[in-house]
Every structure is written in structure tokens, then in C-alpha cells.
């Protein structure tokens, strides 16, 4: 089964659209037969996405450091939970289990995961698709910064171009299909 690592907030943020987007993303991936790998929490946007994917019959794999049990509260109903020792191990295992990466709104942890994956891509450790799932322009400041970094010569243009912004799960699934990661049928299954 194809899996996507999803980076997103362990809190809900201050806009209801963020949580709705996380739930929709989880439902759409599950309906397309695409498994989810994420941080394993039952709270925040993480929990909303996992619950929606599970309700739609999807596979959801959590990866959580044992030390975060109090803060992130592990989800008790996942398909599989992997408990690791450190954040570094979490990110490495998520990357190993995933065929692509998506970032929804989130905070520093989301950015940490996203930038590590982009760095690994830049130095040739993977060539998997990476996308920002944009919710009401949430990623505008980040993409503007990345454009500035590329323009200043600190981020190669090919790396900057590899981070794609999409509006929703349907566009993300089309990105996976165009990258050769997802069969055509699975893309259509997720669309209304």
C-alpha cells in the first residue's frame, strides 16, 4: 500500500478551516486507498485527520517518541503505532514508511519535519513528492521566504520548485499520480 507522511499541528490552531482541512485530507486519502503516516497523536489537527481517515476505512500509522505521551496523547485506535526513542528516529521512520509528504497548517514541529524532508531531498536522500496543503493562504509567508532564499542563492531553484502548493487532497493525489507514485484509479476514487 502506498503511504503519505503528513506533517500537521498537534493543536487545532485558531481557525476552524484548519481542522476541517485536516479531516477532509484524512478522509480523501483513505477513500483513495492511500495510507497515512503521521505523528501518532490523538489531539489537535493530528487527531482530526487520523479520526477521519479511520472512519473512512483507511490505514493510519502513528510514529511517536515515548517522551511525548503526555503532550501529544497517543491515538489508541490506529492501525499501527510505532514508539521510538527520539524526534530524530520519528522523522527517519516516517520518511522510510512514506512514498510522499504533505504539510498542513502547524507550528514549529510541522516546520521542522517539512524542512528536514526538503533538506534530505536537496542532498539526494530521496526523490519523493513534497507538498504544502494550503488552507486560506496559510503557507503564503513560507513560500515567500523560500522564494527569497532561492533568489539570494541559498536554496537551489530545483529544490524550491520541488515543494508544490496544492489546495486540497484532490490536487495532492493528482500530484502523486503525475509523479508516478499513485495509479490513476486511486485519484478518481477520492474525488467527489
pLDDT digits (tens, 9 = 90+) for 25-83: 999 999 999 999 999 999 999 999 999 999 999 999 999 998 877 677 889 999 999 99
Question: Are residues 9 and 105 in contact, defined by beta-carbon separation less than 8 angstroms?
Answer: yes
Question: What digits encode the pLDDT tens for the residues 23-41?
Answer: 999 999 999 999 999 999 9
Using alpha carbons only, what angle is made at residue 75 by residues 69 and 80, rounded to the nearest 5 degrees?
105
Q: Tell me if the pTM is above 0.85.
A: yes
Domain formed by 3-135+163-190, architecture:
3-Layer(aba) Sandwich (3.40)
Question: Strands (DSSP E) along 33-149, which ranges?
Answer: 35-38, 60-65, 80-84, 100-103, 130-133
Containing 126, the helix (H) or strand (E) segment is none
What pLDDT sits at residue 184?
47
**Average pLDDT of 87-113?**
96
Amino acid at each position: 500500500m502506498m503511504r503519505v507522511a503528513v506533517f500537521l499541528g498537534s493543536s487545532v490552531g485558531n481557525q476552524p478551516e484548519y481542522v476541517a482541512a485536516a479531516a477532509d485530507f484524512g478522509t480523501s486519502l483513505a477513500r483513495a486507498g492511500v495510507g497515512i503516516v503521521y505523528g501518532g497523536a490523538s489531539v489537535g489537527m493530528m487527531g482530526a485527520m487520523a479520526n477521519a481517515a479511520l472512519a473512512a476505512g483507511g490505514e493510519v500509522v502513528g510514529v511517536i517518541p515515548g517522551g511525548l505521551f503526555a503532550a501529544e496523547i497517543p491515538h489508541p485506535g490506529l492501525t499501527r503505532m510505532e514508539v521510538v526513542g527520539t524526534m530524530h528516529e520519528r522523522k527517519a521512520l516516517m520518511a522510510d514508511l512514506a512514498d510522499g509528504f504533505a504539510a498542513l497548517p502547524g507550528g514549529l514541529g510541522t516546520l521542522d519535519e517539512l524542512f528536514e524532508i526538503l533538506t534530505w531531498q536537496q542532498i539526494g536522500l530521496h526523490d519523493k513528492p513534497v507538498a504544502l496543503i494550503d488552507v486560506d493562504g496559510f503557507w503564503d509567508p513560507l513560500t515567500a521566504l523560500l522564494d527569497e532564499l532561492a533568489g539570494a542563492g541559498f536554496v537551489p531553484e530545483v529544490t524550491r520548485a520541488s515543494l508544490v502548493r496544492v489546495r486540497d487532497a484532490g490536487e495532492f493525489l493528482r500530484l502523486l499520480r503525475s509523479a508516478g507514485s499513485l495509479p490513476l484509479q486511486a485519484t478518481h476514487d477520492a474525488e467527489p
